[in-house]
Chain A
């Protein structure tokens, strides 16, 4: 008999004569303490994300490309990885075109195998969008896509993330329900709650362990 059959048989034998326990999930326990008035959500998210060294900026649908350009210049980043085919990617390209002093834009437009070295060695920053955020835990929601693949928010040392204020949800339960997660999970779904960190040495918190050292969130208040 295979290991699979042996394991399943042993488990089934042990359950002989028992009935499965009913599902008594009390939704209130995971929602009630984690519910916020709409005007509190940004502040709640901000408080938690800033507590773990996330840089949060408030902006608007109109002004964010300019703010992004300013932040990129201030940090003297030599280039920025974007998804040019997306609506927000086009906004960046447009702003960059009229501001030639800004550093070059790069696109993640081929399989990782074709430019792995460049991604690891010569891609200092990236911009991705988000599927919203969770106020209760201070988390950004990301479902990487073809345009914005998984490593785009992980390998570059500086990660800029766009977040629409209207897409800040109260808690993870609400997100799963509203966005119908259970009916179709993507290859990879992520909650990101700050820059990479570790406390493995003497519990001293250090940022920039393996992922981005800086996470910069631009919240579009009117979007």
Chain B
């Protein structure tokens, strides 16, 4: 592959800032993202051309998710009861390790060697491909974008479009390198190469894995959306189907998915509906001729109960994983998905990841935002992402002895020095005497202010107090007015 166009692989020891800096210096990467995000924003805007209709639907979407979360434990039990009645095996996992162990036990029970996987972000949380790979079990991605990313030993850079950081030339070179096919940058030809390889894999696979978009408690139904048909293949051809999902994906009724589905596909890709909406309510029945003999659902917590515990942070779990927040994020567009270094990039990643891995491990996530508000404005289920980012910033600097333990790794950016400075600043601005004294000296000693004040002066000129304060000038001005003697 042409080394110049190769996307730099993310290295583990780098932190968010270093990765962001590297991404910003990569013009090809920036062009790929800029082009893609511009197009996705336009498509969404066209799909929601009627603002009243859009806002009504967003309000409804928010209400449906809020209602589901307000009775989440009951709905999970109802889902389990109905799925079990339909013949689906339901498993619960608190951690990704537990979830992987469940998947492995199913794989081993069937002596499976080949697993084919439809796109699933929860399986990315679990790092299922690596987990199974280390145990000699092939776990192959079947979504075209995921397949490309896996072939290049990368991670997805977008939750809906995993290979959006690559252009057709890069994919052509990758296929030529890894699959030995002739180089082409014709997208149709590249897709046909993928189709051929993966069709054989669908045919051979012992187990199919998928995610879930909505789990419907009322009927015990797993609803999956997709355009390619790989999701239907993974959930229908192999004799065993394992679905993995987060506990927040449950909705109360089948009717509830009508607006959510519309919000999801229009917000993510700007399309009225995906090519396939696949609703699975059980394994193959005795008189049916195809479909898996066994269906499993793994319900994963992985930090979600922590977000759930706080009524403000709970709104994080409204997310239906459309990706609109990242498509509209000026930070994401410039640094791309890999810079975040975690499974979920962009605004949603910044508010969900701290619950999954601990705030201490992603200390810069909440502050990597200009708080422009675009993410909150486009969110189809109205997650107040900017407010949640501010909240996480607070949790990030909470004193270690704070009685309120909200999240794992909180207070990781706490600094006694910084806290002292802010307290002093607050005092200064709330006491008139202190403030006047400060201004008196600040204006007279203005030439003594330092010209280098840390990161600020890397990109800005140093702040220098004016010769006279506004108070001072206002007093003088008022004194000159007739009648003010």
Contact = CB atoms under 8 A, between A and B. Distances in A.
Interface in B47-63: 50, 53, 56-57, 60, 63
Given A181-B254, A200-B162, A201-B168, A192 B94 contact: no
A210 to B, nearest CB: 4
A171 B258 CA distance: 9
Interface in A8-59: 8, 10-15, 18-26, 29-30, 33, 48, 52
A198 B228 contact: yes
Contact of A209 (B67, B76, B167, B195): B195
Contacts of B247: 7, 11
Contact of B236 (A15, A22, A151, A204): A151
A7 B94 contact: yes
B174 to A, nearest CB: 11
B72 A189 contact: no
State the main secondary structure of chain A at its contact with B: loop
Contact of B195 (A33, A109, A120, A210): A210
A24 B253 CA distance: 13
Range class of the B interface residue count? 35 or more
A192 B276 contact: yes
A48 B94 contact: no
A188 B259 contact: no
Interface in A88-114: 108-112
A176 interface: yes
B82 to A, nearest CB: 9
Nearest to A114: B289
Contacts of B171: 201
Range class of the A interface residue count? 35 or more
Nearest to A139: B273
Nearest to A153: B232
A193 B262 CA distance: 14
B188 A187 contact: no
A120 B199 contact: yes
A136 B218 contact: no
A191 B195 contact: no
Contact of A202 (B63, B168, B195, B305): B168
Interface in B273-289: 273-285, 287-289
A20 B66 CA distance: 9
Interface stretch (B137-145, B333-341, B391-399, B435-443): B137-145
A190 B60 CA distance: 24
Contacts of B76: 7-8, 11
B126 to A, nearest CB: 14
Contacts of A84: none
Nearest to B82: A185
Interface in A168-223: 171-173, 176, 181-182, 185-204, 206, 208-212
Contact of A8 (B39, B77, B228): B77
A154 B94 contact: no
A2 interface: yes
Contacts of A12: 73
A197 B228 contact: yes
A108 B192 CA distance: 26
A150 B290 contact: yes
A150 B236 CA distance: 7
A209 B187 CA distance: 11
Nearest to B80: A4
Contact of A120 (B70, B203, B227): B203
B275 A194 contact: yes
Nearest to A204: B187
Contacts of B162: 200
Interface in A155-177: 171-173, 176
Given A150-B236, A182-B219, A185-B279, A25 B60 contact: yes
A188 B275 contact: no
B134 to A, nearest CB: 23
A33 B47 CA distance: 13
B122 to A, nearest CB: 15
B344 interface: no
B353 interface: no
Nearest to A27: B255
Nearest to B232: A154
Nearest to A115: B289
B227 A198 contact: yes
A196 B290 contact: no
B203 A116 contact: yes
Contacts of B230: 209-210
B290 A151 contact: yes
Contacts of A120: 199, 202-203
13 contacts: A3-B94, A7-B76, A8-B76, A22-B67, A26-B56, A29-B56, A52-B275, A120-B199, A149-B291, A181-B254, A187-B281, A201-B171, A210-B198
6 nearest CB pairs, A to B: A211-B229, A200-B145, A209-B228, A210-B229, A191-B277, A137-B273
Given A26-B56, A146-B287, A188-B278, 17 more contacts: A3-B301, A4-B92, A7-B76, A8-B73, A11-B73, A20-B70, A29-B56, A30-B259, A116-B237, A150-B236, A198-B144, A201-B166, A201-B187, A203-B161, A209-B228, A211-B233, A211-B275
Interface of A: 2-4, 6-8, 10-15, 18-26, 29-30, 33, 48, 52, 108-112, 116-117, 120, 136-139, 144, 146, 149-151, 154, 171-173, 176, 181-182, 185-204, 206, 208-212
Interface of B: 32, 35-36, 39-40, 50, 53, 56-57, 60, 63-64, 66-67, 70-74, 76-77, 92-94, 98, 142-145, 148, 161-164, 166-168, 171, 187-188, 190-192, 194-195, 198-199, 202-203, 218-221, 227-230, 232-233, 236-237, 247, 252-256, 258-259, 261-262, 269, 272-285, 287-291, 299, 301, 305, 308-309, 314
